[in-house]
Chain A
Amino acid sequence: DAGVTQSPTHLIKTRGQQVTLRCSPKSGHDTVSWYQQALGQGPQFIFQYYEEEERQRGNFPDRFSGHQFPNYSSELNVNALLLGDSALYLCASSSARPGDREETQYFGPGTRLLVL
C-alpha cells in the first residue's frame, strides 16, 4: 500500500515564475492538506481540499491556489514566486468523516522548492 507521494522531490525556480506541485494521497483517503515548512520552522497550514473543494485556508495570499481531482490527488500552484516562498511543501492525506476527530493525517516526503 503506497503512502502519500509527492512530485517532484526538488525544484529550483526564479522569482516571478509559477510552480505546480503534485500530491497523491494514501489509498482510501479523500482529503488532502498542504503545508509550508520554512527552514527552521514548523509546518504551516496552507489549505485543505475535500470533495474537490477548498474547505479551509490558512494565512496565505491568493498567489497560492490548489486543485483536487476526482481521484483525490491534488495540486498546489504558486504564482509570482518570491524568495520567501523557498520551503519544503508537505502534503498530508486523511479520510474525512465529518464530526469524527479521530482521523490521523499522513504526510508525504515533501517537495523542496528553492526560489532564486
Chain B
Amino acid sequence: AQSVTQLGSHVSVSEGALVLLRCNYSSSVPPYLFWYVQYPNQGLQLLLKYTSAATLVKGINGFEAEFKKSETSFHLTKPSAHMRDAAEYFCAVSLFITQGGSEKLVFGKGMKLTVNP
C-alpha cells in the first residue's frame, strides 16, 4: 500500500536559512506525490506536485522538491526562509480510484515549521 513518512513533527529555522522538510514514500506503482501547506486555522493549499515528468518540481512561494526514486524520497526545500513560511507542511501520495472519480490522497503526519527572526 502507498504511504508517506515524515520523520519528526517540528522543524525550526532562522529567517534566511535553508528550509528542508523530509518525506519518504512507499509505493508499489510509480507514485504521484504532493506537498501541501496549512496555515493556522485554514485548509490545505497545494505547494507542488510530482506526476512523473521532471524530477525537480518547482512550486509556489519559492519552494521546490526533488523526486529521488533510488532513495524513495521527495524532500521539500526553500533556499531562504521567510517569517510567512511558518505553517504546517504535509507530504502526500495519491492512490488512483478505479471506480470513476479522482485520486484519493494519503497524507503524512505533517511537519510544523517555525521561522525565528
Is A105 touching B102 in the complex (CB atoms < 8 A)?
yes
Q: Are A42's CB and B102's CB within 8 A? A: no
Interface secondary structure of B, over-half rule? loop
CA distance A6 to B9 in the complex (A): 28
Q: Does A58 contact B (CB under 8 A)?
A: yes
A41-B109, A43-B90 as given contacts; A101 in contact with B103, CB under 8 Å: yes
**Nearest CB of A to B90, in Å:** 5
Given the known interface contacts A45-B105, A45-B106, A55-B97, the answer about A106 and B90 at a Cβ–Cβ threshold of 8 Å is no
Known contacts A101-B32, A101-B96, A107-B44; is A48 also within 8 Å of B107 by CB? Answer: no
Binary B-proximity of A40-70 (CB < 8 A = 1, otherwise 0): 1111110011110001101000000000000
B108: nearest chain-A partner, CB-CB: A42
> What is the interface residue range for chain B against chain A?
20 to 34
Tell me which residues across on chain B come within 8 A of A28, comparing CB atoms. Answer: none
For B9, B51, B104, B108, the residue with the greatest tally of chain A CB atoms inside 10 Å of its CB is B104
Measured between beta carbons, the chain A residues less than 8 angstroms from B94 are 101
CB-CB contacts below 8 Å: A59-116 with B: 90, 92, 94-96, 98, 101-110
* Interchain CB contact under 8 A, B44 and A96: no
A-B contact pairs, 7 of them (CB 8 A): A41-B109, A48-B101, A50-B101, A56-B101, A96-B102, A107-B45, A110-B43
Interface of B toward A, CB cutoff 8 Å? 9, 32, 36, 42-46, 49, 51, 90, 92, 94, 96-97, 99-110
